[in-house]
Amino acid sequence: MAGKPRNLGLSYIDKTGVRRWREWRGIKDTLVDYGWWCVMWKDMIKFVLQSPLQVVKGIFRYRWMLTYLTLPQFIDRQLEGMRGVQLRAGHALYDIIIKHTIDIIADSFNADQNIGGKKSLADRIVCFDELVPTELMAGFPNLIGIPVQTIPIFLSSMINQQLPPVYLDAIENFGVPADVCPLPSAEAGVAAEGDFPIFGKCFIACNMPCDGSIMTTSFQDRYFKLPTYCLGVPLRYNDDVDAQKYAVEELRGCIKFIEEHTGEKFDWDAFAKALESYNEVTRFHLDLWEINRTDYPQVTGPTPWLYRMYTYHLHGGMDQRFNKADKRVRRLMTDAYEKRLPCSAEMRHKALVWSCPANYYTNFSNWLEQCWGIVSVMDMETHISQVIIDTSMPETMLEGVALTYQRATMRKHTKGGYRNAVDEMWRVAEEYNVDTIIMYDQISCKGMDGLQGIFDEQARERNINFIWVQQDLMDPRTISRRDMRRQVNQYMTSVLRETPVDPTLLDFDDCDAF
């Protein structure tokens, strides 16, 4: 349904990406937006007041901490132009992400030995690699699992595009080649700069998603100086029974390792309870996907993949706030679908977004929707593990968690052979009845190299618009946000001969923006 252009680009201050004024969404939606904005500030202020001394120490000790004070602007970017169900669902889901993130930062600062944290709290923490979902920690209810890279670099790089280059330059000066994937490079850079908090009794590393993560583990291992267990996850997860037996044995070894270094005993009942909660979150996502397969998708843009990735890795079945938010959003999107309400002012193209997205431009799919009417109904980072875990016995629980781990973010589709990288993309495209595919070309990743010709040829056979968008994951200096937009603009104007939904978003400079 075509609507009046919103002229969103006119409110930007050049280069900064900061708005001259807040977006007007009509009386009702503006009040909803403002109400959630106040809730966000309340949570942030509450966090500071709970441990003001530790927060101040953290701000002066870690360069990444100031990034989290810009969270309100980050949420504004994700929800730009959204109305109705999109706006309400987005705020409800981002609210839980913010609350959970604040809890992780609070635990980190209160335990951090770099800034005088409590040793008793530090000794209750098990450090995790960010790509190891934390469900295992549910079996240790007296311990706290913290994904050590998530707060200093992974989430902060999504909020502030200016932060990762500092750590990339640091590790390159240390001797790591510049053509390595920027994600593990930046993580190694955080270690080289001494910007990881110090706490924990042991560290769980893993081999996901690629060799780069194995490399960065060596830097982190030297920095943390903790006993380390490397959780080996099979690469070809669709293969034989022996691979699955190996995966289960790796989990058993990990549990035993944590028991030995913390003195805690694994609680299978607590583990089962958490996995039931995890299953409920998975079912919510399956319901969301079911609606997005129709002609009336309700939750689109960056919200599905950011929320799916966060809940998959960090919910762990231990925070019921996620389940409550899911119930709220399920009601919203189900009611809207039953009324056949459109998700966007104008949906010209139904799109699948594939391959790894740029951390420094998380709201790119929102720009696609607001500028060109290209509505992302599914993407690779959303379409990860769909396993419902059988909680009837310890063995079935471990088998389910093992299958889940093997289908993790950045692992399920870009690794494991042609069937996972190519065939599944076309299957998902057909399932969601899309007419457009946005294919990220992460130039520092070798995972999809050599497949461009195959993708282009198969897209022509299927009569699907196939738009390649180059990006560099964590480094906007190589390919900027503006460069990413230009690639889409060129395709839409020269190939499809279309005009933008909102011409003011066609070209703008946000090189200095967070």
What is the secondary structure of 170-239 as a DSSP string? HHHHHT--TTS-HHHHHHHHHHHTT-S----SEEEEE--SSHHHHHHHHHHHHHH---EEEE---S-TTS
Average pLDDT over residues 323-336: 97
Average pLDDT over residues 242-253: 91
Upstream peptide bond of 182 is cis (omega within 30 degrees of 0): no
Residue 375: strand, helix, or coil? strand
Q: How confident is the model at residue 310 (pLDDT cuts 50, 70, 90)?
A: very high
- Summarize pLDDT for 44-58 with one digit per residue, the tens: 999 999 999 999 999
Residue with tokens 């002609």: 295
Q: Is the pLDDT of residue 1 over 50?
A: no
Average pLDDT over residues 247-264: 96
- Summarize pLDDT for 55-104 with one digit per residue, the tens: 999 999 999 999 999 999 999 999 999 999 999 999 999 999 999 999 99
Here the tokens at position 458 are: 């198969």
Lowest mean pLDDT: which of 13-17, 147-151, 505-509?
13-17
What mean pLDDT value characterizes the chain?
92
State the Cα–Cα distance between residues 370 and 8, nearest whole angstrom: 9
Please tell me the predicted confidence (pLDDT) of residue 241. 80
Q: Are 223 and 199 in contact (CB under 8 A)?
A: no
Please tell me the predicted confidence (pLDDT) of residue 393. 96
Which residue type occupies 75?
I
- Summarize pLDDT for 427-452 with one digit per residue, the tens: 999 999 999 999 999 888 765 656 78
C-alpha distances out from residue 301 to 2, 46, 111, 334, 366, Å: 18, 30, 36, 18, 5
State the Cα–Cα distance between residues 442 and 446, nearest whole angstrom: 8
The percentage of the chain sitting over the pLDDT mark of 90, rounded to a whole number, equals 74
Burial class (CB within 10 angstroms; exposed 0-12, middle 13-18, buried 19+) of 3 = exposed
- Summarize pLDDT for 373-417 with one digit per residue, the tens: 999 999 998 998 889 999 999 999 999 999 888 888 777 666 655
Parallel, antiparallel, or unpaired: how do β-strands 125-128 and 144-147 relate? parallel
Query: Which CB contacts under 8 angstroms, 24+ apart, belong to 389-392?
Result: 389/275, 389/278, 389/279, 391/272, 391/275, 391/276, 391/279
Please tell me the predicted confidence (pLDDT) of residue 239. 63
Q: What are the φ and ψ backbone dihedral angles of 13, each rounded to 5 degrees?
A: -85, 130
Average pLDDT over residues 16-28: 88
Please tell me the predicted confidence (pLDDT) of residue 207. 84
Lowest mean pLDDT: which of 25-29, 127-131, 146-150, 426-430?
127-131
Torsion of CA 236, 239, 243, 244, to 10 degrees: 110
C-alpha distances out from residue 409 to 135, 175, 179, 261, Å: 15, 28, 22, 28
Average pLDDT over residues 2-24: 82
Q: Are 42 and 35 in contact (CB under 8 A)?
A: no
